[in-house]
A and B are shown apart, each in its own frame.
Chain A
Amino acid sequence: MKGTTLMELRILAPTGALGAGFDADALARGLAARPDVIACDAGSTDSGPAALGSGTPKLSARAVTRDLRLLLRGRDELGVPLIIGSCGTSGRDAGVDQVASLCRTIAAEEDLHVKLGLIYSDQPAQRLKDLYDTGRIQPLANAPEIDRELFERGHTVAMMGVEPLREALRKGCDVILAGRASDTALFAALPHMRGADPGLTWHMAKTIECGAACAVPPSANGLLATLRDDHFDVTTLAAGTRLTPRSVAAHTLYENADPYHIAEPSGVLDTTEATYEPVDEQTVRVRGARYLPADGYTNKLEGAELVGYQTVIIGGVRDRVVIDALPKLLPTAERYFDAKILDIFDGEVDPADIDIDYRLYGAGAVLTGSEPDPLTPRELGVLITVTAPDQETAHAIATFVAHASSHLPIAEYDGLVSTLAYPYSPPEMDRGALYRFTLNHVATGVTPTELFRTVTEEL
């Protein structure tokens, strides 16, 4: 029987991110292949901690609606499940609710009827404290130190694996909107439920999770994976793009520390022995990955907390004497501002709670410590960022920082010096809240579904 195909599952990944946009023709090609499931990710930590900290999605409701409408129509045409993960960028409960609301509106407008499954992944502080107290929160590589009070201050989500998605599929959900989810789990859930080879399943899921990011040239459109007993084929759907064994192999490198060992909640995908062969210009056949089940199940925890509020000032310098003087001038200015903060706020604002940060764009502002060559620019962009416990204080400090920074005293010049060019009036711009990531840990000793909550409704 060797070589006989016993099983075939087709998985459509229409885009790398819901709301990022994709070509409708590429989607139509994917739908024409009659996939068994359509799945798509809607979030990431890569945009930074703001989405998780604030609950505000990165991409607009308008763009998400456009993509979602096409996917809901496509799903309806085929009668197959649509799975969307990490709704609202961060996968917070608020993000699931936002996408659910768009979904209800579209369903009403298009007269679509579905069983909707919403899977929530917010973690209450008390649950996290209990896990912490029993030693069941463990750091991942390079994670920051934590204490149990952290859970009160920040907002935490758990990242689900395939199991909560499988449960929703078993309940007959046509559309699943998941909170924070492993990108790969969205594509692996259905094959996992149908008993496909786990090594191939997870490798397939890893390959298509970003849509056609591994195509040549990379594209914002989709991929179709065809999973069989002993291999999977991955096919690009966008016109004018192709796949090569190398481009597919290289995708395991992307945003990933170790391309050969990729961790999931239930185990590790091992791609050490994987092989890649061309089928045609658009298709690559992949074999040989293995899935090594872990000793115990873990769910990753992601957290973000408020740091303060920011006001920014953008300026520029063209005078070479001023540029040369800045390295000495700025530390002097920072000491001056500390004294000024004490004066202006009558000692009610502690300068230690205020951060005034000058970045000299054109002179190593991007690379900071790792810039090997001191640069000698003719013009320098100056970004001044004031961070304070509240927006009003940040703004108040920024007003005198902007004023004083435009007249910093230069030893080489006599009289009132003009040191900075401001493009805007007023120069201060309130940026709002600043967040930071607090957790990159795992919860151990948990069942695959206990950290998640599923609600279903009929549309």
Chain B
Amino acid sequence: MTTLLDYCSLIRSKNAGPFTLTFDFMCHDQTAYDALVATGFLNKELFATLYGTTPDQILLVHHPLALAVKVSLPRPAAQGGPHDTDCYAGQQYAPLMDMEIAQT
């Protein structure tokens, strides 16, 4: 079984301003990056389902020089507001890390 964490040396989530949530998936090396991108696992539909938005609201960027995939989307709750649970958005990536990724 291969998980997202197996490909990555760092997975993080952060705010990109008070109303945008952003994820960085930094791969171990070129091989891991190429393999992860080839699986197509990190796609807009996955994030739309998990974080309650629609694919057209999602920005997905590949950054080969950083060996990273980046995903940005509307923040589920406004940062620091009455029902925000994660002011720095620092733990929002956690459900993704152990998800099983089918090999292509």
Interface residues, chain A, with chain B CB atoms under 8 Å away: 45-50, 140-144, 245-246, 249-250, 252-260, 274-276, 307-308, 355, 357, 359, 365-373, 387, 434-437, 440
Nearest CB in chain A: distance from B79 CB, A: 6
Nearest CB in chain B: distance from A18 CB, A: 19
Contacts of A440 in B (CB 8 A): 17-19
Scoring B residues 52 to 72 as 1 if CB is less than 8 Å from chain A, else 0, what string do you get?
Answer: 100001010101011110101
A355-B82 in contact given A256-B16, A440-B18 (Cβ < 8 Å)? yes
In contact, B67 and A257 (Cβ under 8 angstroms):
no
**Distance of A48 Cα from B88 Cα, bound (Å):** 8
Contacts of A140 in B (CB 8 A): 17
Nearest CB in chain B: distance from A432 CB, A: 13
In contact, A437 and B19 (Cβ under 8 angstroms):
yes
In contact, B82 and A367 (Cβ under 8 angstroms):
no
Give 12 pairs: A residue, B residue, CB < 8 Å, sorted on A.
A45-B17, A45-B79, A46-B88, A142-B57, A250-B66, A250-B68, A253-B66, A255-B14, A255-B22, A260-B61, A370-B76, A437-B78
Measured CB to CB, the nearest residue on chain A to B90 is A366
Contacts of A50 in B (CB 8 A): 80
B91 at the interface (CB under 8 A from A): yes
Contacts of A246 in B (CB 8 A): 65-67
Contacts of B86 in A (CB 8 A): 366-367
In contact, A141 and B92 (Cβ under 8 angstroms):
no
Interface size class of B (residues with CB under 8 A): 35 or more
For B18, B19, B72, the residue with the greatest tally of chain A CB atoms inside 10 Å of its CB is B18
Scoring B residues 20 to 49 as 1 if CB is less than 8 Å from chain A, else 0, what string do you get?
Answer: 101010100000000000000000000000
Give the contacting residue for B66; candidates A255, A259, A367, A387; CB below 8 A: A259
Nearest CB in chain A: distance from B59 CB, A: 6
Instruction: Kindly list the 9 A-B residue pairs having the minimum CB-CB distance in the complex, ordered from nearest.
Output: A48-B80, A250-B66, A257-B72, A142-B19, A437-B18, A249-B65, A436-B81, A257-B16, A142-B74
**Distance of A140 Cα from B72 Cα, bound (Å):** 14
**Distance of A140 Cα from B19 Cα, bound (Å):** 10
Give the contacting residue for A434; candidates B18, B77, B82; CB below 8 A: B82
Nearest CB in chain B: distance from A60 CB, A: 19
A141-B79 in contact given A246-B66, A366-B91, A370-B95 (Cβ < 8 Å)? no
Contacts of A141 in B (CB 8 A): 19-20, 74
Interface residues, chain B, with chain A CB atoms under 8 Å away: 14-20, 22, 24, 26, 50-52, 57, 59, 61, 63, 65-68, 70, 72, 74-83, 85-88, 91-92, 94-95
In contact, A370 and B52 (Cβ under 8 angstroms):
yes
**Distance of A373 Cα from B79 Cα, bound (Å):** 24
Nearest CB in chain A: distance from B50 CB, A: 5
**Distance of A369 Cα from B92 Cα, bound (Å):** 11
In contact, B80 and A435 (Cβ under 8 angstroms):
yes
Contacts of A245 in B (CB 8 A): 65
Nearest CB in chain B: distance from A148 CB, A: 20
**Distance of A355 Cα from B83 Cα, bound (Å):** 10
In contact, B92 and A258 (Cβ under 8 angstroms):
no
Give the contacting residue for B80; candidates A365, A370, A436; CB below 8 A: A436
In contact, A253 and B85 (Cβ under 8 angstroms):
no
In contact, A255 and B15 (Cβ under 8 angstroms):
yes
In contact, B63 and A46 (Cβ under 8 angstroms):
no
**Distance of A49 Cα from B15 Cα, bound (Å):** 13
In contact, A47 and B82 (Cβ under 8 angstroms):
no
In contact, B82 and A369 (Cβ under 8 angstroms):
no
A253-B81 in contact given A367-B94, A370-B92 (Cβ < 8 Å)? no
Give the contacting residue for A437; candidates B57, B80, B95; CB below 8 A: B80
Nearest CB in chain B: distance from A133 CB, A: 24
Nearest CB in chain A: distance from B33 CB, A: 10
Nearest CB in chain A: distance from B68 CB, A: 6
Measured CB to CB, the nearest residue on chain A to B51 is A370
Measured CB to CB, the nearest residue on chain B to A371 is B95
In contact, B65 and A372 (Cβ under 8 angstroms):
no
Contacts of B95 in A (CB 8 A): 367, 370-373
Nearest CB in chain B: distance from A159 CB, A: 11
In contact, A48 and B85 (Cβ under 8 angstroms):
no
**Distance of A208 Cα from B9 Cα, bound (Å):** 23
